[in-house]
């Protein structure tokens, strides 16, 4: 698909053709990554953050938010829960928190590896190369970091530089790959000021970065962010070219991701299920093959409020039972083991 064709597909409104595209995402998913749905246990380690991202509710400027950082013992308990529920991967995510030191994370990785024997994914933002290398050496397998948008001026507007240093997530993603990580990225859908042209470019960039994992989800406005104040103006500026942040449009984008990168792992994201009560199923039916159930201790979950209404405040074991039923209802099965992407397996020979 060339750029114009991507734009045309993104602008599609005909319900029959949209349905076809969603089904096509599902078909390509089945053909390339099969019917297994992999579950990744998510631990939100800390909501401290030095950044002031215009979209994110835990940005440093949100002084109303009570901050927390999990202890090693809490991480160990989370890893045990992941093991008990049969999850082959634990994902440790956080704000950009330098209180999560290199050593603290090395030890956290060793704890999770020791408890689960499974894969460890990190999503800790833009950290320096020494840290990223040390964490890979300590056993971390994967790193997730979305580039958020491929439009540089839009990116600068919503993701301001830190200490005057230009943020270059795309360059960092390439470095992560060179270090041996299985690498994931992705973008937000429906950022105020984001156009169809931008989104087509976002899709192309996924392909250029040759990713192993791709996470995308609708932008959800958080009242205590810079974007909440400027959204109306940016929408006006983009006019008819503004892309929506709806569930339907996110699913169309997801199906296109699957068509472009057939053998990557693609989660059905929590953001999608936040704006659509059946978002998880819908995502799994348009090309997704991964779900990331939240295993963060209940007392911290509502504090990791990157957007309002994050639909994951349910107890982990109850949620797991519900997921099992949902997955069986779709005629799919639970993935076993770490669930590396076929793309990564080919590259790394595992």
Q: What is the DSSP letter of 315?
A: -
Select 28 or 57, whichever has its Cβ closest to ligand SAH: 57
Q: Is 253 one of the binding residues for ligand SAH (CB under 6 A)? A: no
Q: Is 189 one of the binding residues for ligand SAH (CB under 6 A)? A: no
For residue 249, the minimal CB distance to ligand SAH (Å) is: 14
* Distance of alpha carbon 264 from alpha carbon 281, whole angstroms: 19
For ligand SAH, which stretch binds (CB under 6 A), given 90-98, 105-113, 248-256, 338-346? 90-98
- Look at residues 42, 90, 99 and name the one whose alpha carbon lies nearest to residue 67: 99
196, 241 contact by CB (below 8 A): yes
Q: Is 95 one of the binding residues for ligand SAH (CB under 6 A)? A: yes
Exposed, middle or buried by CB within 10 Å (0-12, 13-18, 19+), for 18?
A: middle
Q: Which residues pair with 143 in a beta bridge?
A: 122, 183
C-alpha distances in Å from residue 89, one per residue of 117, 176, 265, 270, 280: 9, 19, 13, 17, 19
Secondary structure class of 122 (helix, strand, coil): strand
Q: Is 96 one of the binding residues for ligand SAH (CB under 6 A)? A: yes
Among 173, 254, 306, 312, binds ligand SAH (CB under 6 A): 306
For residue 28, the minimal CB distance to ligand SAH (Å) is: 24
Select 21 or 271, whichever has its Cβ closest to ligand SAH: 271
* Distance of alpha carbon 62 from alpha carbon 216, whole angstroms: 24
For residue 145, the minimal CB distance to ligand SAH (Å) is: 5
Select 123 or 341, whichever has its Cβ closest to ligand SAH: 123
For ligand SAH, which stretch binds (CB under 6 A), given 112-120, 135-143, 192-200, 212-220? 212-220
Query: Helix (H) and strand (E) counts for the chain?
Result: 15, 8
Q: Is 217 one of the binding residues for ligand SAH (CB under 6 A)? A: yes
* Distance of alpha carbon 35 from alpha carbon 287, whole angstroms: 11
Contact positions vs ligand SAH (CB under 6 A): 55-56, 93, 95-96, 123, 125, 145-146, 148, 188, 217, 219-220, 222, 271, 306-307
């Amino acid at each position: 698909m060339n750029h114009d064709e991507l734009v045309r597909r993104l602008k599609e409104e005909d319900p029959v053709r949209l349905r076809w595209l969603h089904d096509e995402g599902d078909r390509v998913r089945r053909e390339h990554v099969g019917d297994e749905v992999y579950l990744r246990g998510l631990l939100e380690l800390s909501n401290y953050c030095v950044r002031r991202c215009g979209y994110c509710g835990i940005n440093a400027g949100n002084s109303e938010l009570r901050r927390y950082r999990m202890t090693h013992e809490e991480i160990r308990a989370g890893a045990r829960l992941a093991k008990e529920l049969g999850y082959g991967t634990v994902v440790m995510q956080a704000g950009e928190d330098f209180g999560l030191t290199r050593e603290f994370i090395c030890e956290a990785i060793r704890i999770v590896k020791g408890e689960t024997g499974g894969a460890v994914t990190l999503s800790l933002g833009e950290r320096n190369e020494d840290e990223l290398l040390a964490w890979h050496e300590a056993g971390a397998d994967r790193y997730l970091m979305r580039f958020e948008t491929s439009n540089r001026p839009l990116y600068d507007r919503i993701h301001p530089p830190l200490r005057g240093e230009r943020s270059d997530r795309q360059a960092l993603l390439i470095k992560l790959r060179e270090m041996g990580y299985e690498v994931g990225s992705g973008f937000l859908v429906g950022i105020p000021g984001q156009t169809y042209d931008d989104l087509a470019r976002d899709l192309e960039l996924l392909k250029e970065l040759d990713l192993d994992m791709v996470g995308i989800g609708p932008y959800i406005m958080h009242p205590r962010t810079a974007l909440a104040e400027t959204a109306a103006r940016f929408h006006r500026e983009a006019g008819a070219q503004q892309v929506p942040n709806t569930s339907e449009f996110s699913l169309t984008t997801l199906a296109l991701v699957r068509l472009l990168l057939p053998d990557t792992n693609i989660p059905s994201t929590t953001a999608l299920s936040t704006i659509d009560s059946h978002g998880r199923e819908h995502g799994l039916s348009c090309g997704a093959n991964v779900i990331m159930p939240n295993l963060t201790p209940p007392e911290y979950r509502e504090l990791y409020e990157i957007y309002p209404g994050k639909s994951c405040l349910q107890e982990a074991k109850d949620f797991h039972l519900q997921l099992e039923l949902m997955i069986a209802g779709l005629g799919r099965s639970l993935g076993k083991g770490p669930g590396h992407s076929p793309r990564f397996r080919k590259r790394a020979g595992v």
